[in-house]
Amino acid sequence: MAWIKRTACVILFLAYIFLIFKSVRSNPYIYIAASTFLVLLWMTLKTRKSPNLKVIFFNLAVLTLAFALGEAYLAGWFAVGSASEPSRAARMEGSYTNWGSYFTPDDIRGYAGAKNAQITSKMYHGHELIYDVVYTTNQYGLRVSPHDLKNDNLRLKKDFINAAFFGCSFTVGEGINDNETLPYQFEEKSKGEYLTYNFGFHGYGPHQMLRILETGWLDKVLLKKGPLIAIYWALLPHIERSAGNYPYLVWDAYGPRYKLNSSSEVEYAGKFKDESMVKRFIPVLNKSLIIQKTNLLPRIWGWKRNREDIKLFVKIIQKSQKIVADKYHGDFYVLLGLDKNDPDYEYVFSELKLNNLKVITTQEIFSKYHDDEEKYYIKGDGHPNKLANERIAEYLLKYFHSKG
């Protein structure tokens, strides 16, 4: 009967750990390690017949206690520590932070925005409010454009052009209100010439764009068939996202995974979580602050950007361009965001051009104003502000008109 009791205790303890992972959003490993320490300490005291087993339990108890204290230290639970400065610590508030209120599972993209929602989002640095905005989505879970709001002042031309915008938080408009996003500004400034669709979302990469195009989901969203242009706002961190590298896999485990076949062509290969058992457990492991702060996972498994990752990134974009051209008889443009500190920027730019992709850089857009670059980004956050999107929209419209 003793083994039955031991088995029942183990099952109950594992269920307890599972419950912590499900219910505790912040720093669950502190509670798990502290609980494990108490269990091991109890086992140390109860073990009398085997001195060696007693020593093992005691050493394991010491290790788990050290782990719990390390997690608590990094979480700022003590008077000192790298995360113990609440006066400057960034934090998010609002329904944006509640999984299911805004972020929802999606078979095509891995995750997406909730449909017909109004999501509040506030960002603070300590007590300083960085932004306080609302994200409004339409019936497809896409952030709204002017035509979604049925604005009486909007008069679409009979031969209007569909404009699909792809990208990440820069495209969807993190930290700004609905009417300040690039797709919104572009449609509004076009005065009925273009109807925009905001397919961007927080944490996305080019692989979500390609999956939207490959599956035909875009057809369900377009208000009418006809001329189409596509604009993909590309950032160099998207290379890691499309490769499924850490830390992006933490939130994109169910995202569409692509690989290059023997002919260097892009093929859909399921979800990132299906790639390996290691990647399946990344979101769980990454809840540890020690793993996050020490960058342990990339050190162990060697997840670092390489030329193959860049090649995959470019090929995904190239295939997206081909679908837009072949299926929709449309033009595809890459809006490349400048990252001065990224050593691969010039190489990526040249690779995009070598693969016959039409590239427009934010550098060439903003350079004519001779402004301080920081003027175009939300202070204390880094996402583009309304001014940046206004100037990009104006530039794109003039650019497209000049191309006839």
pLDDT of residue 73: 80
322 and 241 together in one domain: yes
300 and 370 together in one domain: yes
Residue 391 located in a structural domain: yes
Overall average pLDDT of the 45-49 stretch? 76
Q: What is the pLDDT of residues 306-322, one digit of tens each?
A: 999 999 999 999 999 99
The model carries a pTM of: 0.81
68 and 211 together in one domain: no
Q: Are 59 and 47 in contact (CB under 8 A)?
A: no
pLDDT at 294 over 70: no
Question: 86 pLDDT band (50/70/90 cuts)?
Answer: very low
pLDDT of residue 278: 54
Residue 41 located in a structural domain: yes
pLDDT at 298 over 80: no
Whole domain around residue 108: which residue ranges? Answer: 90-402
Nearest to 230 by CA among 161, 178, 160: 161
Overall average pLDDT of the 224-231 stretch? 90
pLDDT at 153 over 70: no
Residue 85 located in a structural domain: no
pLDDT of residue 181: 98
Give me the residues paired with residue 229 across strands: 163, 331
Nearest to 255 by CA among 241, 239, 267: 241
- Residues with Cβ < 8 Å from 150, sequence gap 6 or more? none
Provide long-range contacts, Cβ within 8 A and 24+ apart, for 148-153.
none
144 and 246 together in one domain: yes
User: Could you identify the residue written with the tokens 């905005």?
Assistant: 133
pLDDT at 297 over 70: no
160 and 40 together in one domain: no
pLDDT of residue 332: 98
Q: Hey, is 87 helix, strand or coil?
A: coil
Residue 336 maps to which CATH number?
Answer: 3.40.50.1110
Least confident of 90-99, 128-137, 300-309: 300-309
- Residues with Cβ < 8 Å from 97, sequence gap 6 or more? none
22 and 119 together in one domain: no
Residue 118 located in a structural domain: yes
pLDDT at 280 over 70: no
What total of structural domains would you count in the chain? Answer: 2
143 and 19 together in one domain: no
Max avg pLDDT among 43-52, 76-85, 169-178, 362-371: 169-178
pLDDT of residue 27: 77
182 and 262 together in one domain: yes
If you average pLDDT over every residue of the chain, what do you get? Answer: 85
Angle at the Cα of 60 (from 55 to 64), degrees rounded to 5?
150
pLDDT of residue 42: 78
Least confident of 46-50, 134-138, 277-281: 277-281
